[in-house]
Chains A and B, each alone.
Chain A
């Protein structure tokens, strides 16, 4: 029975999401508890999977009992379990925050539809992390694409609709590229399962080199659009800044990264290593990530809207993850994957803190934030920790991942990338420190007409995330162990 846990996590979240709209009609007060309860169960099950995989090693789950070339297979390895834990923990904290915050950002009628979309998004991300089948991957990618547009447009603001449709169209373009790539891979190998495709591709590379190269390029473009790799990031600032704060947090914290993880799986588990002699795709990703890191930071510096600045900062930070993928040394990839969790913690915390500031004062503009640290010490304290971690001050978790990226770059004898990491950290400092200094030591705050007290339920997730950033900054060993097992492909 216990071996069914991986599929039961997804099924539980799906079942909860199907039930919530019914509850909305017939027993509205139960919608939120069901949502939170299913997320908690998913989190506990993910931890149980971590224990299980430690005992049994990686294992496969055959849906319908059909073995791989015929049926769909879920493959539970350390990478999948790592992503499950990241998704379920961060997602749970964001939803606890959202329980109160959404009441003022979204009208009551669509509240339970929002919960539905949120649960579907979580389920689809877990599906992407678990699946071992190309077409199943596409289906889950499509679910998460629609759900992530839906949680943007649920807010009654016309900018959200506009951002949402921009995101949807580019996202559909990415899905189209992914489906075409799946078709090409299927055409030349006759399989959809990752392992069988990986076994067939080295032979196919001799017969149909162009097909594989084009398919690889389409995969990179498709997942690049969805994870906002630098020149394809145009949808991100609008979408992440106009959305409700919990949506921004989950989109920036988790959704863009799960596509990067899907790309990692494809690049290192499916495509044969010889392909990198034909087309230097890793170098291309590496160069793009350098552009992303620099351009994201520079764009973020000139923004005056708090959430927009955080959104541009996400573009820079996803660049670090892709830098880890592109360097593909042992420690660099460790750093990149570690940054997935670290950035998920800090960026969702920063977005939630920004949401708290907006909730309490209604201020979005950075210039108006002077002296807010006196009014909201806990929120700005957490914000400070997140900002320090973004810059990469030792003692925060952001430092650990950048440290490993730099070490990996040195291992591969590429000191240029160390310089890039240092330079971008400096740029991060340039736009984060003034906010903090203004907030705590700035002249007195503008007379704000309304100042709402922040409910404790909203503050607690932010503080937990802040504590997590500090904890994993000083004691990264459990994460490092997990990630170093996850990258042994």
Chain B
């Protein structure tokens, strides 16, 4: 699609969508939202970019190496945070019991591991949505002749 209006508008809008997505991720423990919703919003900005320019430009913006790093990294990050619990003498994924400081409820940096887990989930969801979009949309050009 080669349309000036769509391209200009999406170029203008994408950073704001991303900012909003990160806001939703980071304020997940204070307001409605969280890793899933925020990650989906961030992903939708990238998908919008890919749709309004073209798919190659979109996939150049986020290469395969980076997206697979983000996918695995988000999940491994989650496991690492979980293992902190065991390291500090409690169970897997422990928060208060592992002695993590909970902070003042209502502040941005409160809730112990919740903040970090949301971040991991957000990254994971965003990269998954983007990768799914590109692999589904790019899946048709190499039509299967083998069988």
Contacts and interface: CB of A to CB of B under 8 A. Distances in A.
A and B touch in the complex (CB under 8 A): yes
Interface of A: 1, 4, 7-8, 11, 14-15, 18-19, 21-22, 25, 61-65, 156-158
B22 to A, nearest CB: 23
Given A18-B75, A64-B94, 16 more contacts: A7-B92, A11-B83, A11-B92, A18-B72, A18-B76, A18-B79, A19-B76, A21-B71, A22-B72, A61-B91, A62-B91, A63-B93, A65-B94, A65-B96, A157-B147, A158-B144
B94 A25 contact: no
A19 B98 CA distance: 26
Nearest to A14: B79
Given A64-B97, A156-B147, A4 B76 contact: no
A198 to B, nearest CB: 23
Contacts of A157: 147
B91 A63 contact: yes
A165 to B, nearest CB: 15
A157 B147 CA distance: 5
Q: Which of B91, B94, B146 has the most CB of A within 10 A?
A: B91
B86 A25 contact: no
Contacts of A22: 68-69, 72
A64 B81 CA distance: 11
A24 to B, nearest CB: 8
A190 to B, nearest CB: 23
A18 B147 CA distance: 30
B147 to A, nearest CB: 5
A15 to B, nearest CB: 5
A19, A22, A158, most chain B CB atoms within 10 A? A22
Most buried by B among A14, A19, A64: A64
A158 B147 contact: yes
B82 interface: yes
Interface of B: 64-65, 68-69, 71-72, 75-76, 79, 82-83, 85-86, 90-98, 144, 146-147
Nearest to A3: B91
Nearest to B80: A15
A21 B76 CA distance: 12
A1 B94 CA distance: 14
Contacts of B83: 11
22 contacts: A4-B86, A7-B91, A8-B92, A11-B82, A11-B92, A14-B75, A18-B72, A18-B75, A19-B72, A21-B68, A22-B68, A25-B68, A62-B91, A64-B92, A64-B93, A64-B97, A65-B90, A65-B91, A65-B94, A65-B97, A65-B98, A156-B147
B112 to A, nearest CB: 11
Contacts of B92: 4, 7-8, 11, 63-64
B19 to A, nearest CB: 28
Contacts of A63: 91-93
B72 A4 contact: no
A66 B83 CA distance: 16
A14 B83 CA distance: 13
Given A157-B147, A158-B144, A158-B147, A64 B72 contact: no
Contacts of B76: 15, 18-19
A8 B85 CA distance: 12
Given A21-B71, A61-B91, A15 B79 contact: yes
Contacts of B93: 63-64
B110 to A, nearest CB: 17
A156 B93 CA distance: 39
A63 B69 CA distance: 27
Contacts of B82: 11
Contacts of A61: 91
A64 B91 contact: yes
Contacts of A19: 72, 76
